[in-house]
Amino acid sequence: MRRSMLGRLAVAACTLSLLTALAPAATATAPPTGTRDAGHDRSYRRVGYFTQWGVYGRDFQVKDLDTSGTAAKLTHLNYAFGNISEQGTCFTGNVPGEADPWADYVRPLDAADSVDGVADTPDQRLAGNFNQLRELKARHPGLKVLISLGGWSWSTHFSDAALTPTSRRKLVSSCIDLYLRGNLPRDGARGGPGAAAGLFDGIDLDWEWPGSAAAADTAFRPEDKRNFAALVREFRTQLDAFGRTRHHRYELSAFVPAAPAKIDAGYEVRRIMRDLDFVTLQGYDFHVSGEKTTAQQSALHARGDFSVDNTVRSWLRRGAPARKLIVGMPFYGQGWTGVSGGGNGLGQPATGPAPATWAAGYEDYKVLRTLAASGAYTLYRDTEGAHAWLFDGTTLWTYDDPQVLRTKARYVARHGLGGAMFWSLDADTADGELITAVDRGLRGR
């Protein structure tokens, strides 16, 4: 599930509310029906999420994308997140829990944390993550940066904003003004008209979820399904019109769910796929640490349960082109403690989420990698299902390591899918171990 500045830290509770009462996708034995690649030589989209709040506790800076080699392996970087106001517009400002302009474009960075090695000055109009992303694009000209709107906690007003033609036009116009025209609110010397112009190359819609219950304060309606399709059409129309004035094509994508019930409740698949450049599929949080029994969170294959393969099939059956399906891959794990029943720990009762660095039941891969090497845990693999977990007799972590991700990348290539997406880049190792594994898998190595 996804995630906002605060919502991702509470992922276990949030995702549990999403998955309860959902029927799992049926398992099929035939391969997905997408056009297969003859080889591994075509270009794939590699979409990574950079979290606005990762610059704080994790101290993960935009510069780290460059020094780790990650930026060179990405085609798209999604900045998480932008918010939608109660009035139905894209906005930012000093509203605790609702926006963070300090991280976005106000915070000055010193030379050591700057992509170009030059410290920010007090009078420059753009600083913070936005300025660093601009510098990163200068160093990697092929990289596209998209603003991702919503997330688990910030999808609150999506349904209201999408309700009528007038409200849809208002929302889309405000998002283009704020992010593509770059008309940021003034904050001292920062911001002002055009301050972030040229930074963003498109918009990613992370509405969780049209037509289905999600976070407690997020509105949803049966008509969300048709309204989402109309909103996508409005974004495509206005983006194309604005692009003609800038001689630039702006991209439009969406993050979409794994559960068939949520797909059917919220998405006119064939219709939206005409206007979206691609969708990123939920490929994780199939089971979460808020559940009472341990289980896989991101298996490639799982009979009678959620899985990446079942998710891909669900979207293909509903008319999505294979080349527009981007498989989501987790750079984190879900964990339980108080696991009883013996064996390898999977499918056993647990007393609650495992203790972790940032939030109980949720841990970055770079930490799980250390646990795996400590000797205290046994690493288990389901080679048929293509997933892995760690178990020490009491605590279990289900996660993706490089071997699992290479297998998933080869699946993407074998079935003619569009590429891979990663949540989130700050959870990888300092040398980009996970994204390197995916890159090699997509290249057939």
- DSSP secondary structure string for all residues of 288-313: -TTSSB---SS-S--TTS--HHHHHH
**Could you tell me the pTM of the whole model?**
0.93
pLDDT at residue 11, as a whole number: 41
Q: Helix, strand, or coil here: 142?
A: coil
Which CATH number is 237's domain given?
Answer: 3.20.20.80
Within a 10 A sphere around the Cβ of 57, how many other Cβ atoms? 11
Q: Structural domain of residue 307, as residue ranges?
A: 7-332+401-442
Amino acid found at 378: T
Q: What's the number of domains the chain is made of?
A: 1
Residue 186 lies in a domain: yes
- Residue 103 in tokens: 């991280």
pLDDT at residue 99, as a whole number: 98
Tens-digit pLDDT string for the chain (445 aa): 444 433 433 343 334 333 333 333 333 335 565 444 333 336 999 999 999 999 999 999 999 999 999 999 999 999 999 999 999 999 999 999 999 999 999 999 999 999 999 999 999 999 999 999 999 999 999 999 999 999 999 999 999 999 999 999 999 999 999 999 999 999 999 999 999 999 999 999 999 999 999 999 999 999 999 999 999 999 999 999 999 999 999 999 999 999 999 999 999 999 999 999 999 999 999 999 999 999 999 999 999 999 999 999 999 999 999 999 999 999 999 999 999 999 999 999 999 999 999 999 999 999 999 999 999 999 999 999 999 999 999 999 999 999 999 999 999 999 999 999 999 999 999 999 999 999 999 999 8
Q: Is residue 291 flagged as an active site residue?
A: no
Q: Alpha-carbon distance 49 to 220, whole Å?
A: 25
Q: Alpha-carbon distance 431 to 354, whole Å?
A: 27
Q: Helix, strand, or coil here: 410?
A: helix
Asked whether the beta carbons of 81 and 102 are under 8 A apart, the reply is: no
Q: Which of 86, 98, 135, 208 is labelled catalytic?
A: 208
Residue 346 lies in a domain: no
Residue 414 lies in a domain: yes
The DSSP H or E segment spanning 367 is: helix 365-373
Asked whether the beta carbons of 124 and 191 are under 8 A apart, the reply is: no
- Please name which of 210, 184, 178, 180 lies closest in space to residue 197, comparing C-alpha atoms: 180
Residue 352 lies in a domain: no
Number of H helices, E strands in the chain: 13, 17
Residue 100 lies in a domain: yes
- Residue 73 in tokens: 């392996």
Q: Alpha-carbon distance 444 to 150, whole Å?
A: 35
Q: Alpha-carbon distance 160 to 240, whole Å?
A: 24
Residue 359 lies in a domain: no
Residue 342 lies in a domain: no
